[in-house]
Structure 1
Amino acid sequence: TLSIGYLTMMICSRHNIVSVAICFVITAVCCGTIVIFAMQTKYDLTSMIGYVFIFAMVLLIFGLVAIMSMIFFKIKFLYLIYAGLAALLFMLYLAIDVQMIMGGRELEISPEDHILAAIQVFIDIIYIFWMLLSLFLDN
């Protein structure tokens, strides 16, 4: 977590302070809304982890194509689509992880694994922030 914090600091230093503040607020509001939704909903999102994995693999291939098109053809629009879809993917992961922490679903994390659960939620939130920040390609 220390290295991710340092990496986040370095990424934020490359962007405009307004972009970082806007992305922070958007991340906080989205994550708060997702946590409330995941705690209150009757839908079991943990049972859809296979579909989310398939979406992640498709997004991985699309991300490679988007990065290659940005490097070789200077097409940045595909990378913006990739960053938006990746942010949505990590929002799904956050909702699933919150439901796994809450328990009572198909998949759950035991109370003894509280460190793993905290790291999962931390990583989800950081990745959401990074993807939203990459949408603001001002620097």
Structure 2
Amino acid sequence: MKKGKQVCDEHEPPSYQEATAGYGEMEAQFAWDDKNIRRTFIRKVYAILMVQLLVTVAIVALFSFCAPVRFYIQTHPSLYMASYLVFFATYIALSCCGDLRRQFPWNIILLVLFTLSMAFMMGFVSSFYNTKSVILCLGITSLVCLSVTIFSFQTKIDITSCQGVLFSLCMVMLLCAITFSIVVPFGYVPWLHALYAVLGAIVFTLFLAFDTQLLLGNKRHTISPEEYVFATLSLYLDIIYLFSFLLQIVGGGRE
């Protein structure tokens, strides 16, 4: 009887505890692997972003401080239009063509062209402002970006779930831009321009927090680690637009 009972026990299916004994270790390993992938993704994005910002600051400084270069680009606005066309083409390619922005080395080539064109445009715009104003705006932008990044890393508030609020603010900005374009031909209104610039700075500060939390991947919505080019593009544009709106707020024209 005992021998028959032992044979029956050998053919019985395993219990739930026995069948799932290794699942906890597997889940822990997968979670650890995901965290490592996410950390590598974040480091890659910020490394590329730092290079982009250094190139942009260098070009803005060259166009603002070097008088011959400043005079040349101000007297050749066609260069600005050419850089805008390159910016628009590369932005469409990187934003709309998902396969292209994941394909090396085309994604890096397009990102380099995009960065150089945007940096040239910002340098052209900055050349018409007072040098002290440009330096002040660079400093304010750096402090705002640092504060928003620290806040996004530490806060428990899920900004990625506030897509409706950001969309509404974008619609308000669009209506303000339309109103501004209608009013300006009849006369420049300083307070209306200042209001629009303040609204733009607030909106893109929120977008910077939104895109940072998408990058971190610990909230409701996340961005795939494969999309490091798109993540870098989003953060870079947020910072550039923030700088441009700050420049409109506190910047003074050259005498």
* Correspondence 1:1-139 to 2 at 5 A: 1-139=115-253
Measure the CA separation in 1 of the matches of 2:250 and 2:150: 27
Cα separation, 2, equivalents of 1:99 and 1:67: 34
Separation in structure 2 between the aligned mates of residue 127 and residue 56 of structure 1, nearest angstrom: 13
Q: Aligned with 1:112: secondary structure?
A: coil
C-alpha separation in 2, matches of 1:95 and 1:70: 32
| Partner Cα distance (2:169, 2:237) in 1 | 18
Shift of 1:138: 2.2
Q: Based on CA coordinates, which of the two structures has the bigger radius of gyration?
A: 2
Q: Which structure has more RCO (C-alpha within 8 Å, separation ≥ 6)?
A: 1
What 5-or-longer segments of structure 2 have no aligned partner? Answer: 1-114
The Cα offsets for residues 43-90 of structure 1, whole Å up to 9 and x where unpaired, read as 100000121111111121012213432331321211100001101000
Question: Is the 8 Å Cα contact of residues 69 and 76 (structure 1) preserved in structure 2?
Answer: no
> In 2, are the aligned partners of 1:63 and 1:79 still within 8 Å (CA)?
no
The answer to which of 64-73 and 1-10 deviates more is: 64-73
Contact kept, 8 Å, 1:70 with 1:76, in 2: the verdict is no
SS of equivalent residue, structure 1 residue 107:
coil
Q: Distance in 1 between matches of 2:134 and 2:170?
A: 26
Please report how far the alpha carbon of residue 25 of structure 1 lies from its aligned counterpart in structure 2 after TM superposition: 0.4
Displacement over 6 Å in runs of 4+: none
Give me the TM-score of the superposition, normalised by structure 2.
0.53
Identity score, percent? 35
Q: Deviations over 1:75-132 (max 9, x none)?
A: 1211100001101000000000000000021111111111110110000000000000
Q: SS in structure 2 opposite 1:51?
A: helix
Report the Cα distance in structure 2 between the residues aligned to 1:10 and 1:125, rounded to whole angstroms.
17
Q: Structure 1: where are the runs of 5+ without partners?
A: none
